[in-house]
Structure 1
Amino acid sequence: MTTITLKVSEADKTFMQAMAKFEGVSLSELIRTKTLEALEDEYDARVGEMAYQEYLDDLENNHKAITLDEMAKELGIDL
């Protein structure tokens, strides 16, 4: 496993240690999981925004939306 060094203030360290104790995990585990959760949430939000913008662009260009059943039929997939 790779090590990453993170510089924080003493107050931030104290707070993170308290949160790790509260969560019942190590400080390293707390930072790793909370960081990854936040990044995954940000990624999901951005992908969602991009998909929504693509949908709006399709509406603006008169592209018709189709249902899941219609898509499955086009692709020859049984639902």
Structure 2
Amino acid sequence: MATITVRVTEDEKKFLDQMATFEGKSLSDLLKSKTLESLEDAYDASVGDIAYESYLKDKKSTPLSALLNEYGLSD
């Protein structure tokens, strides 16, 4: 497993320790989960923005039922 070092101030360290205790997680688990969640949310928002911009260019869409059939997800 890889190790990453993050430098923080003493006040930031105290806050992070308090948040880890509040969340019932170790400091490492807190930083890992919150960082990954935040990055995943930012990525999802970016992909959504790109898809919306693409849609606005030609205003063409596909019904959900057609997409479900295309990917074999229909009943």
Same structural fold, with TM-score higher than 0.5 when normalized by the shorter chain = yes
User: Using a 3 Å threshold, how does the CA distance of structure 1 residues 71 and 15 change in structure 2: closer, same or farther?
Assistant: closer
Structure 1 length as normaliser, TM-score?
A: 0.80
State how far apart, in whole Å, the 2-side matches of 1:34 and 1:41 are: 10
Number of residue pairs matched by the alignment: 74
- Fraction of identical pairs, as percent: 49
Moved over 2 A (4+): 68-73, 75-79
Structure 2 length as normaliser, TM-score?
A: 0.84
User: Using a 3 Å threshold, how does the CA distance of structure 1 residues 52 and 2 change in structure 2: closer, same or farther?
Assistant: same
Residue in 1 aligned with 2:10?
10
Q: CA deviation at 1:54?
A: 0.6
RMSD between aligned alpha carbons?
Answer: 2.0
